[in-house]
Amino acid sequence: MAIDQDRLWRRIEALSGITDPERPWTRRSFTPRFLEGREWLAAEFREAGLETEFDAAGNLIGRLAGADPALKPILIGSHSDTVPSGGRYDGILGVLAALEVAQSFSERGDRLRHTLEVVDFLAEEPSEFGLSCIGSRALAGALSEQHLALTRPDGMTLREGIAFIGGRPEELAAVKRPADGVAAYVEVHIEQGRVLENEQIPIGIVTDIVGIRRERIVVTGRADHAGATPMPLRADALVGAARLVEAAYKRALATARDNQPLVATFGRIEVSPNAANAVPGEAVLTLEVRSGNEAAVKAFGDALVRDLRPTLEELRLTIAVEPISHVAPTACAPEIRSAIANAATSLGLATRDLPSGAGHDGVQIAHIGPVGMIFVPCLDGRSHAPEESITPEQAGDGARVLAETVRLLDVSLG
């Protein structure tokens, strides 16, 4: 099925251009800039002929009615929020490729059996509330009262944040889909790695999405004067934090040759008093662990702390750990992977199976229906960075494969 690659690329350029001017490419969720992008997207959805709504959880949904209302919908899409300085293609490619597919079906007069839903999920990226995949969690019925009570640094709760962007948190129960409420969910995304580019393969078929666990680790010592406190008498929390960072790196590196390697990152560290002339009395670290090996993801943090505790005690430090979030690895559905492979073959595009090392909304949607993902290459594997880059042809390939995948699934699924 033909898609309008030029129109798709114009939309990608337009949405990516809605950014914080001092920090491109940035559209953080729950901000006025995010709302600006959402208003533009909603107008494009309506112009494409989609029945458009903002649901109670703050998801933007455009519907193309199918011929058989008794059939469950096929969902396609992604997210339009970004990490700081890193969202020129991550997320928006999936939303706009989905929009192009739906519009192309409509313009050709090809009516699907299933209703097609184009979704821009709210806040797929980790938000200032400390939670990711907020909109897709709501569809899966996994957005809890505890989640809604989370606060960001300025004191706003997630409940208030959802209301701020136009959602209706008091009506979240109406957003939840039943356990088998979705016929299929398919998303186009940049690979965020170098496999496809290195092997010169245009389409990746995602086999599974890694499990992700985040834990808050607090190392406590004693704040003292940096000039007046002798080195042997210090209880420097940042020294303990440094030992944790190094040990986590070495432990994760040792899994590099495993069938399911593990990665571990301390991406956030807060130190107090955080003054040049003060010995740090406390260090709060966020540990993130990812792997397709569920047992390894669960065990990593506990083993790290257990092995280092004697060393930290020698440094007169205490350590405490509390979980932040845990998402199990998610397998992509064989029937969707097969449809993607057949779609790409029919278009003359080579494919390769590969896992996703990043988290995606599909992890949550897998609770309510089968999911699949289509990867396209990105330059040097760069993602979540200003250098993130793809070509119009790569975007077009992803959209074409998505369109043909939807057509095949529409025929094969009940």
Please check if 28 is assigned to a binding site: no
* 384 in a labelled binding site: yes
Question: Is 360 assigned a ligand-binding role in the annotation?
Answer: no
88 labeled binding residue: no
Annotated binding residue at 243?
no
216 is in an annotated binding site: no
In degrees rounded to 5, what are phi and psi of residue 66?
-90, 170
> Is 90 annotated to bind ligand?
yes
Contact 354, 195 (CB under 8 A): yes
Between CA 12 and CA 227 the distance in angstroms is 55
Place of tokens 């040049």: 276
Tokens 């505890």 found at? 146
Spatial distance between the Cα atoms of 265 and 349, rounded to a whole number of angstroms: 35
274 is in an annotated binding site: no
Residue numbers in the known binding site are 79, 90, 125, 189, 214, 277, 290, 384
Residue numbers in the known binding site for Zn(2+) are 79, 90, 125, 189, 384
Residue numbers in the known binding site for allantoate are 214, 277, 290
